[in-house]
Chain A
Amino acid sequence: MMYALCFMVFLVGLYGVSCKKNIVKIILGVVIMEYALNLFLVLLGYRRGGIPPILDRSMETTQFASQAVDPLPQALVLTSIVIGLGTLSLMVAIAIRLYERYGTFDVTEIRKLKG
């Protein structure tokens, strides 16, 4: 059920990217899509009744391995968040410069390249 919700948030982001006219809304759509993907990736590691994947002094490693939530998706999500951050900063920088060149944030008016 949670996975279906993640997918719905992803579709909301996709709708924002494809159907909105304001550049800032397109950027927010991309951010929402990436957020949904990261959430989906973290939720994949969930185990019912699991403990956080931090080894404590008092715990046996076998007991830890059988009870802990999967830590690999957490590492993947960390990388993915940083990639999203890089993309976002590039997008915002380009959007600011676009506003200075064209004077508008409306995508339908930023159309000098045609044909």
Chain B
Amino acid sequence: MTGTEYLQEKGLSVVVKTATRWMKGFIFLYGAYIVCFGHLTPGGGFPGGVIIAATFVLITLAFGREYALGKLGKLLASELDSLGALLFLFLAAGGLYAGSKFFTNFIEKAHPTGTFRLFSAGIIPLCNISIGVKVGASLFMVFIILAVVRVVVVNGKGKLITTEKAGTK
């Protein structure tokens, strides 16, 4: 389909689509900023992850379900979710490797840096990033499953037999 036909087919109107296409990079960047500077300014993993998820929700609302699922499908979101949590556990266990307890800030103890700098505070920015990835992916998955995937109720007994994506509209 041609460009104008695509713009008028699914999702919301042309104005919203154009605005979203310009803004989605900035919103994602803002979320990433909150995650990465979590040890210096308010924020950290959770709020930053929520804003990253909000970017994808905005894309879903503006462009329709298929486009957004193409960008970050259910499978990829699930893998990112597990990866984020495993990375966090791995960082926590890194303290054990350095000869001390869990959650010891082994990077800071090995290479102490000054304060108020971006690359400081040891494992804390890395933990923030892993939590940000996890929260963003899992919130987007919650949104997709609640709003996009439709459950088909077969033979009236209400048994969850198949799930299918909502038809193209």
Contact = CB atoms under 8 A, between A and B. Distances in A.
Interface residues of B, number: 15
Interface in A63-91: 78, 81-82, 85, 89
A96 B116 CA distance: 47
Contact of A57 (B42, B44, B116, B146): B116
Contacts, number: 24
A82 B42 contact: no
The secondary-structure label for the interface of chain A is: helix
A63 B65 CA distance: 53
A89 B146 contact: yes
B46 A93 contact: no
Nearest to A71: B42
Interface residues of A, number: 15
B151 interface: yes
B158 interface: yes
Interface of A: 52, 54-55, 57, 78, 81-82, 85, 89, 92-93, 96-97, 100-101
5 contacts: A57-B116, A78-B46, A78-B47, A85-B139, A101-B158
